[in-house]
Amino acid sequence: MNSEKIRLPDISWKKWGPYVSNREWGLVREDYSANGDAWNYTDHDSAEAKTYRWGEEGICGICDDKQFLVFSLGLWNKKDKMVKERLFGLTNGQGNHGEDVKEYYYYLDNVPTHSYMKMLYKYPQSAFPYDELIQKNAQAGKENPEFELIDTGIFDHDEYFDIFIEYAKESQEDILVKISVVNKSENDSPLVLLPTIWFRNTWSWGYDHYKPQLSARGENTVSIEHKEVGIKNFYSKSSGTTAFCENETNDKELYRQPNSGKFCKDGINEFVINGNQESINPKLFGTKASIIIDQIIAAHSTQVFQFRLSDKELDEPFRDFDEIFGLRKKEADDFYTDIQKGIGSEDEKLVQRQAFAGMLWSKQFYHYNVEKWLKGDPAEIAPPKTREKIRNFQWKNFNAFDIISMPDKWEYPWFATWDLAFHTISFSLIDPDFAKQQLKLLTLEWFMHPNGQLPAYEWNFSDVNPPVHAWAAFRVFKIDEKLNGKPDLEFLEGVYQKLLMNFTWWVNKKDSNGNNIFEGGFLGLDNIGVFDRNQSLPTGERLEQADGTSWMAMFALNMMRIALELALYNKVYEDLATKFFEHFLSIADALDNMGESKFSLWDDEDEFFYDALSADDGTSMFLRIRTIVGLIPMFAVEVIEDEIVEQLPRFKERMDWVLENKPELAALVSHWQVKGNESKHLLSLLRGHRLKKLLQRMLDEKAFLSDFGIRALSKEYEENPFTLRLNDINYSVRYLPAESDSGIFGGNSNWRGPIWFPVNSLIIESLQRFFFYYSPDFKVECPTGSGKYLNLDEIADFLSKRLAGIFLKDKNGKRPFNGQYPKFQEDENFKDYILFYEYFHGDSGRGVGASHQTGWTGIIAKLLQPRLSKLEIAEAQTESPETQKKSI
């Protein structure tokens, strides 16, 4: 067993990590406005002088798991208007397609204990084009792509620094920091480095007046005094000017009000940029400190700077620096050598390792107490009355103070429930305990609403995400069991009990007519339909959602499968398995008959699933637009081995009774009583015929199938947009492979055709499940019209390779996600650094949307991982099933 894996069970190794957000400004939890205008209450420039309430931000920062102390890197090229302390980007209103970070940074390596970490930030030597980026994007319309940093020409002549930031832990609270600065230009260039430490302000809100302190201690050393922080010293090998100020808002600068103290948060910036000696504390103490290192970096040279945060008193803090770094780097290599066994391509290993790195770097300290946020703090001015009914006011139970996996620490530095479910699948390959902890977290009483709803995301906890939590919990449970040789039943049972409440919430709140047709709203597909699916239709029609209903069918099957697993150890769960089996049949009946109306969401004429509009008079009509909504019924599939059924006689007896006495329900779904390959039972919304018809459309390159995966919208609407006239209003949907031109859904209108990893990964898994039941003789033409027939497992592999092809080098050595920029495709200093975008161009595969959404796009790490064979699974089991049961 490698050293990193040995360390992993000791959670004290995770006390310090990359838990600092890349952006705290423009967030809901920092918004104390009267009208909830979060994007304008705090912005990039004001963040320099404003102390945050709920968290901290920085470039490649680290902190402890309570974020009492933060370390991050500041930079100044002697041309910028401010010290580069935070990443710049556009707000939702400034970007022509929504918010967008305008910097280039890459997560290169990380391990689960964060004992070794590495990332790269590319810092221009010319003045950063803040104003140009704002102005050019303001001029661009929705029909144009984003104007990016590279479009300004700032990288054309390689006048930039590559800033490599590496961390290595000697022990849990002894952290070495190495900054390698590479001057890529032809000229010697000045650079000011500001390694900075500061305390999160916990003393100004009126709850606890304890104030920690940083102070100078000898040359290039800062002493750290905090009753909750083990680290006591910050050492710098390079000499510099040590400057101190306070992590306090500069009220005079921002609001023209008197400051409570003399040395404010922007004091060090003011000293560096303007030489203002009055802005830093001459007595050399405060709650924010930087060691200011002013250097000339020679052309085409690398200069290395060494720092150390330690809980020890060290006379020679850098004596063993290189030795420790070398050891931790080797241990990281050993860890991933074990993880990546069976991956033959070095390029696949590179992509997967950077995917894991991005996910690990995207862990963040997340603090948000909704009740305190609504009321305001005792030491602050009372908020206006309008805040009593501002967003999330129904969630006063919500109180987060945790390390959570974020979708993207700049674009989405807040958790999203269904994003997080996908994150855990990839995390389970490298740190299954963290994956399980994340899934449990959202079901805790201070996260889950008392009515059973899971919080969606910070902008609106009451919104509805697809119910994939049960799916993720069972997948993580099974992966963990394979890796560790025994099932974690305590985890599975604990999550299951809370998901019973969540299922009940769905049934009570999202089935308005009690007919098992579910109206979940946008369900993560915010621009996929003709209407805004979160809004009521003005003429009173109801939108009956094929995807909402199918997600619930999937949820029911997931709950049934978990109950069957638990029933092997506790027979009480047999009855719950039966309950969810019957609920699944009822949902299948509703999908085909919509209660008494006998109107099926499966269109026999088109042989596809569609949403439908239902009127109060009982009439219904299809919305015949072919989107991924119509493919989601594939996800409701479960295969149960005969061996499990035979061990649960009460469940088997009830199943047999239902299928014999309710043939109208049994006829709706795939044959439970017809044993498939190797005596397996199948439960699915799709019989073989319907499955083949869906695949026929899905695998059509003129419709859904792209060279890079399955599109969100059929390409047939590119030349012939879908149109609908309803109540004298014309509606239209056109295929657009990347950014949408629709403004109906706000800035982020982005689902009109791109490749979207979550749905693609579920399609692949569903095909694998169907193959598990069907014999290899069940084949489908792939691609449609090619004359080539593949079985379902081969089709899953075919799609996996197309998705992987977004990141891997093609025959010309180019990576499609890098798009049209030769610099990214050909330059040795760019081409092998991987960005995991939010979604991808439906025709070219270029990255679109959030550039670091390793969260759910990181599931590529799972797709690149070879699936365990039965022999490998057997070898991984260190105990027999009988021994496991006894030990548990």
Could you report the per-residue pLDDT of 152-178, keeping only the tens digit for each? 999 999 999 999 999 999 999 999 999
Model confidence at 737: pLDDT above 70: yes
Contact by Cβ (8 Å): 591, 550: yes
Model confidence at 569: pLDDT above 90: yes
Task: Identify the three-state secondary structure at position 388.
Answer: helix
Distance CA 419, CA 435 (A): 13
CB-based contacts of 797, cutoff 8 Å, min separation 6: none
305-337 tens-digit pLDDT: 999 999 999 999 999 999 999 999 999 999 999
CA proximity to 64, closest of 20, 113, 4: 20
pLDDT recorded at residue 873: 38
What average pLDDT does the segment 529-533 reach?
62
State in Å, rounded, how far the first CA of the chain is from the last one: 24
Model confidence at 521: pLDDT above 60: no
Distance CA 445, CA 319 (A): 49
pLDDT recorded at residue 751: 56
What average pLDDT does the segment 77-104 reach?
94
Burial 821-856 (b: 16+ CB within 10 A, else e): eeebbeeeebbebbbbbbbbbbbbbbbbbbbbbbbb
Average pLDDT along the chain: 91
CB atoms within 10 A of CB 31: 21
pTM for the complete prediction? 0.95
Residue type, 279: S
837-886 tens-digit pLDDT: 999 999 999 999 999 999 899 999 999 999 754 334 333 433 333 433 33
pLDDT recorded at residue 144: 85
CA proximity to 453, closest of 366, 386, 392: 392
574-613 tens-digit pLDDT: 999 999 998 998 888 877 775 455 678 888 999 999 888 8
Model confidence at 341: pLDDT above 50: yes
Contact by Cβ (8 Å): 773, 677: yes
Dihedral sign of CA atoms 790, 796, 800, 802 in order? positive
pLDDT recorded at residue 657: 85
Of the two residues 750 and 231, the one the predictor is more confident about is 231
Structure confidence at residue 690 as a pLDDT band (50, 70, 90): very high
pLDDT recorded at residue 855: 87
Ramachandran angles phi, psi of 352, nearest 5°: -65, -40
pLDDT recorded at residue 586: 85
Q: What is the DSSP letter of 746?
A: -
Contact by Cβ (8 Å): 8, 431: yes
Helix axis angle for 489-509 and 546-567, nearest 10°, is 150
What stretches of 453-559 adopt beta strand conformation (E)?
A: 542-544
pLDDT recorded at residue 869: 45
Task: Identify the three-state secondary structure at position 291.
Answer: strand
pLDDT recorded at residue 719: 94
pLDDT recorded at residue 598: 65
CA proximity to 556, closest of 426, 686, 441, 685: 685
Model confidence at 530: pLDDT above 70: no
**What percentage of the chain exceeds 70 in pLDDT?**
91
Q: What is the DSSP letter of 688?
A: H
User: Is the preceding peptide bond at 776 cis, omega within 30 degrees of 0?
Assistant: no
Model confidence at 122: pLDDT above 60: yes
C-alpha separations of 817 from 69, 82, 483 in Å: 37, 32, 32
Burial 782-820 (b: 16+ CB within 10 A, else e): bbbeeeeebbbbbbbbbbbebbbbbbbbeeeeebbbbbe
Pick from 189-203, 467-481, 572-586, 779-793: least confident: 572-586
Distance CA 110, CA 120 (A): 12
Distance CA 193, CA 297 (A): 11
Distance CA 372, CA 380 (A): 12
